[in-house]
Amino acid sequence: MNERTLTLSRERFAFKIGEVARLSHLPVKTIRYYEEIGLLAPTVDRSHSGYRLFNERVLQRLEFIKRSQTLGLSLQEIQSLLQLHDRGELPCPEAKQHLQQKLQAISAQIDALKALQTELQAILNRWQEQPVRRETTICPNIQDGSRESEVGSRE
């Protein structure tokens, strides 16, 4: 006749953190962290001995967090969405805004990475295995190629 059995019969506040971890495939530490920063507030209570007791909605919440994270949202952004949800509103419009911003940021990131890729490839292509030892450089292969960037207009 412990609180587990009692609460399980009503399906409320039945899960200890380890069970939630197994069911959600998230580390215990992560769940504790999410609770600490307030992401799980409406789904968690404490037992008389201080154990976190989660109700079944925590799993849906963790799924939402995981999914939103893989889509590139930060925990702060996710929190603001969850707060809207907890106030009874639909977080979708704000979510859409965030996702559109992410999409733009991702394009920019891809462009930056591609530029870096090109630059790295160029450096490696003209790499000198035994460069002349100069006192003015640490590794002559790694040098500012801003002037060489205009190369390619030959032929």
Partner DNA sequence: GGCACCCTCACGTGGCGTCAGCGTAC
Partner DNA sequence: CGTACGCTGACGCCACGTGAGGGTGC
Q: Give me the residues that bind DNA (CB under 7 A), please.
A: 2, 4, 16-19, 21, 27-30, 32-34, 47-52, 69, 74-76
| Minimum distance from residue 72 beta carbon to DNA (Å) | 9
d(CA 33, CA 26): 11
d(CA 125, CA 43): 56
CA angle 38, 40, 43 (to 5 degrees): 135
Q: What type of residue is 125?
A: N
Residue 69 touching a copy of itself (CB under 8 A): no
- Work out the number of other CB atoms within 10 angstroms of the CB of residue 69: 13
Q: Find which of a copy of itself, DNA, none residue 52 binds, CB within 5 to 8 Å per kind.
A: DNA
Q: Which 94-113 positions form the footprint of a copy of itself (CB under 8 A)?
A: 95-96, 99-100, 102-103, 106-107, 109-110, 113
Q: What are the start-end ranges of the H helices in 2-153? A: 3-10, 17-24, 28-36, 57-70, 75-86, 92-125
Residue 116 touching a copy of itself (CB under 8 A): yes
Token output for 53: 């007791």
CA angle 14, 16, 19 (to 5 degrees): 100
Q: Which 24-63 positions form the footprint of a copy of itself (CB under 8 A)?
A: 60-61, 63
Contacts with a copy of itself by CB under 8 A lie at 60-61, 63-64, 67-68, 70-72, 81-82, 85, 90-93, 95-96, 99-100, 102-103, 106-107, 109-110, 113-114, 116-117, 119-121, 123-124, 127-129, 131, 133, 136-144
